[in-house]
Structure 1
Amino acid sequence: MKKLLTVLLFLFSIQCITAQETVGGKVLKNAKDKTYQRGEQKGDEGVETVLNKAEEKIKNIFKKKDKKKKSDAPQPNEESQEQSQENNDENTSKPTKSNSKFDFVAGEKELYFDNFERLAVGDFPAEFNTNASGEIVNVDGQSGKWLSMTKNGAFIPDNMKKLPENFTLEFEVGINTDPTNNYPGFGLNFTTNSDNLMLERFFSSGISIVYLHPGASSCNVQIIPTNGSEINNEIPMPQWNVKKNKFVKVSVWRQQGRLRLYVNENKLVDIPRFFTEKTTYDFAFFRSFFEECEVYLTNIRFAVAGADTRNKLITEGRFVTNGILFDVNSDNIKPESGTVLKEMATTLQENPTVSVKIIGHTDSDGADAANLTLSQKRAAAVKTALSSFYGIDGSRIETDGKGESQPLNKNANPAEKAQNRRVEFIKL
């Protein structure tokens, strides 16, 4: 009788579990195996007791499985709420302001790099000239070796003479103690007069200087042109505050007359006419602090950079580009045009009082009237892109189209036709 009950129990368990196996997968198969073993081992127990235990075990397995499924599955309206949140994020997002964006582009052709690793601690780099004093040191809490500028004066890297019109300069700089907010601070001296390189405070004409002062948390710009008025400006610099952050990275970008300067990827300076002279500039670091302190310098990278094309709109009043591309015989802007559009939007964001006229031009393929209409539509499409995607006020933008009426060449071949398919921005 006991054996019969055991067999019945076994068959019943198989039937129950098999019915559920498509839901439970391997977990239920294991449960079935264990139920079989339990039936064999507990043959002496009453049928009701064994069945109850088997049933309870299966229920517990499904409770755990269902609980997991429930937590993994979307709750009612959960998916729609998530999608709604994504839509809200898209609708409320605004174009990034250029002055809060790190748009620095390091030059590719490296002219000079120094991290002082080749030098012994206590040495002074032979590639530098100075009227002060300094030495190579290790700094607590910082990796690598640093040039410690221990006294006020100039530190001139011999490999940074006769600066090119387009270059980038990157370096890390730090200070060991609060020097108070007196005296100019840590300086970047760009000068056309080599006699000025050894100076730290009083300069003659033909010089442009940036002072970074961690004691005052400020950046100062001084421009002394050969002709014209001297320019002085002070800019807050919370990124380098000796009480909060003693070490920063500085990135400098020259494009002809323009200077951009970034501290820890925050743009502090953007002056279109910082380099006022037509002759070449030389360069020196200098320190001018009131209290005794040590200023540290390392990872100096100096490289040739590309020319600033977008600045032509501001400095020359006109910018022409073949980089805004359209589908054939259409005003649909191609995705690869995004770089030029973003640069132009940034220029307009940085110069909020400037208005422009956008003029479209086509090649000579097709009828004159059709090309005129197409050029007008393309100019309007560029305006829409600047307004819709980058937040430029449409009232600042006028549009026009000239069709094929103002060719730059004879439209004799595909290359010449590509040059004539252009967009022109005119400063109003």
Structure 2
Amino acid sequence: MKQLSILVLASLLVSVPGAAQDVAGSGVWRNYDFVPGKTVWKATDFSAEPVGRFPGRQLEFVSGNMQIVMVDSVRLLEAVDRSIFRLVLPSVLPESFTLEFDLKNPTPNIGVRVFIGPRAKTTKELDYLDLAARPGIYRNGAAISATRHELAKTMTPMKLQVDGEYAILYAGSTRVSQAPIAKFPRSNTIEFHLDANPRFPLYITNLVVAVGLDKLYEALVKDGEFTTRGIVFDSNSDRLRPESTPVLEELLTALRDHPDLRVAIEGHTDGQGETGYNQALSERRAAAVVRYLAEAGIAAARLSAIGKGESAPAGDNATAEGRQQNRRVIVRKVP
């Protein structure tokens, strides 16, 4: 059998909130199956936005009272009244897409509703997210799939994955919704309705919309490469985040099922920070992925690690979308 080599481009990704002791591939993360879309269509970055202003260059204001505030040295969008904003996308969403954001509700019973397209055009037969005491997928005011979960204590990563009519929704490590009969519309806007007041403000940040949910080995056979943003590390660290589990396990399955495969893990970063630091960090992170694979039983002779830092951008580092795209993993066939 002809030997097939693979080049895997590992990522430098921002940190994700969660318990520091959680380990990829273990505990509750064994069943975690959210994988972000391959191509970033929209991403927000509030780090340079002026405090006290609405970030109108990144979000479309509809109504209410919202402003950028500083909380623990991080800029967040705060709503202090019932408010609405939109994410405007470059095109109508395809069949497969993901939506991610970090959310802190003011109380367990006050939260956010998210509509694909303007709410006024969402009929009773179509679905939306209701993120309050029982976050999940709703239709005509009733839950299609929802689970009681606390969203008011800390910033919680919310992650929606839609693939045709199949949809899953995570709040942190908990899958709060799974709907094989979801009916989300497709639009070029996503509308957020924030339920807040001056006594009970609501906070949201790190909004990302991405498209494309390719299967790793199928993409290798068809296209010769596979790109993912699903390998995640702690901030300024080579420690793998537990959210990396689905992609790491998919890679392990490909290696186990095809013993002729060899892989090189190559790290890529965005252009923020010092070039030398990014280079060294990408090398350590690539090595961390190799360690994970080796500890799972893949022979060391089939694995190698390379760091590329910021030297090969896939997007424009001057934009939030480009920086998200540059923090990536590519699995590539090598002749």
Which has a greater percent of strand?
2
Q: Relative contact order, CA 8 A, sep 6+: which one is greater?
A: 2
Which has a greater percent of helix?
1
Q: Structure 1-normalised TM-score? A: 0.40
> In terms of Rg, which structure is larger?
1
Q: Structure 2-normalised TM-score? A: 0.50
